[in-house]
Amino acid sequence: MIWHGSDAAGVRSETGYCSAWRSSDPSESGSSSPIGRGLPLLDGCQNHSCSREMIVLCVENMSKYNVDRRLGKKHMHFDDK
C-alpha cells in the first residue's frame, strides 16, 4: 500500500492526505492504494488511518503551460514505439 492523497480520478483530496503527510493521528485518514506490477496506480483506492505506516508517493503534476515555461525545449517527448 502507498499513500497518495488522491481520489480514484487522480484529484487531490482536500482531507485525505494526513495534514500534508505530517500527521500520525489515528482519528485522521488518508487515501491509499495497493501497488504492484500491472496495477493501475489509483486502483483500489481506500482510506486508512494516518497512524498506519506506508510509503508516500509524490508526483508533480504540471500543466502544459508550466512544462513549457519551466523546461522550455529541454523536456522529453515520448513516442509510441
Amino acid at residue number 55: I
Q: Provide long-range contacts, Cβ within 8 A and 24+ apart, for 23-26.
A: 23/50, 24/50, 24/51, 25/50, 25/51, 26/50, 26/51
66 pLDDT tier (thresholds 50, 70, 90): low
Domain span holding position 20: 2-74
Residue 18: partners with Cβ closer than 8 Å, 6 or more residues away: 3, 5, 24, 25, 28, 29, 30, 50
pTM above 0.75, yes or no: no
Partnered with residue 48 across adjacent β-strands are: 30
Q: Is the confidence at residue 54, as pLDDT, over 60?
A: yes
Domain for residue 79, yes or no?
no
Distance, in Å, from the CA atom of 81 to the CA atom of 33, rounded to the nearest integer, reads 30
Question: What total of structural domains would you count in the chain?
Answer: 1
Would residue 36 count as lying in a domain? yes
